[in-house]
Amino acid sequence: MRGMNRIWKPNVTVAALIERDGRFLLVEEETPEGVRFNQPAGHLDEGESLMEACARETLEETAWRFRPTALVGIYMWPRPKRENEGDITYLRFAFAGTLGEEQAGRSLDTGILRAVWLTPQEIEASRERHRSPLVWQGVQDYLAGRRYPMEILRHYV
């Protein structure tokens, strides 16, 4: 039973599904569970659109410019509870788009070890090292051709 005084709300995040020459751009990052793979992803900041957040997070975590052009999926994932932490549910908006240029020499966000291009087979084989089940699900949905028009999103920021 949930506490009466606690207000539940999901953490809104964005992720970029970037494919080039049969490989996807992922980040290898330090987490409380050890080093994990994830898409370039992060939290929506106050005052920005979902697309702006996705472009910003991709640049900060990979040094690549990215412009979201289609929604691949919306995913809700209640993360397994960690010791000394409350329940956290993520609401992730995953985008496909256009890869721009790499900003050579740009330092990556704290905790990001490197950006890496992996094949779908390499991503599937490393599932035990994924930050969440959303990593592989997003790749599967992308490969299945799921693309929803950006007009589905309405921003009033």
pLDDT higher than 60, residue 120: yes
- CA atoms within 13 Å, Cβ hemisphere of 71: 15
| Those residues with Cβ within 8 angstroms of residue 41's Cβ, 6 or more apart along the chain or in another chain | 13, 14, 15, 16, 57, 61, 92, 131
pLDDT higher than 70, residue 21: yes
User: Which amino acid would we find at residue 53?
Assistant: A
Q: Exposed, middle or buried: residue 145 (CB in 10 Å: 0-12, 13-18, 19+)?
A: exposed
User: Is residue 30 within 8 Å of residue 122, measured between CB atoms?
Assistant: no
Q: Domain range holding 96?
A: 11-151
Q: Give the residue-averaged pLDDT of 126-137.
A: 96
pLDDT higher than 50, residue 99: yes
pLDDT higher than 90, residue 81: no
Q: What is the pLDDT of residues 138-150, one digit of tens each?
A: 999 999 999 999 9
Q: Is 126 contained in some domain?
A: yes
Looking at residue 138, which CATH number applies to its domain? 3.90.79.10
Q: Is 2 contained in some domain?
A: no
Minimal CA–CA distance to 129: which of 23, 29, 19, 18?
29
Whole-angstrom distance, CA of residue 76 vs CA of residue 92: 6
> How do beta strands 23-31 and 64-79 pair?
unpaired
Q: Is 76 contained in some domain?
A: yes
Q: Give the residue-averaged pLDDT of 84-103.
A: 91
Query: Structure pTM?
Result: 0.91
Please count the structural domains in the chain: 1
Whole-angstrom distance, CA of residue 134 vs CA of residue 131: 8
Task: Please report the pLDDT score of residue 155 as a whole number.
Answer: 84
pLDDT higher than 80, residue 57: yes
Q: Is 98 contained in some domain?
A: yes
Mean of pLDDT over the chain? 93
Q: Is 5 contained in some domain?
A: no
Q: How confident is the model at residue 7 (pLDDT cuts 50, 70, 90)?
A: confident
| Those residues with Cβ within 8 angstroms of residue 66's Cβ, 6 or more apart along the chain or in another chain | 16, 18, 40, 54, 55, 58, 59, 97, 98, 99, 100
Task: Please report the pLDDT score of residue 5 as a whole number.
Answer: 63
User: Is residue 38 within 8 Å of residue 13, measured between CB atoms?
Assistant: no
- Share of residues in the chain with pLDDT > 70 (%): 94
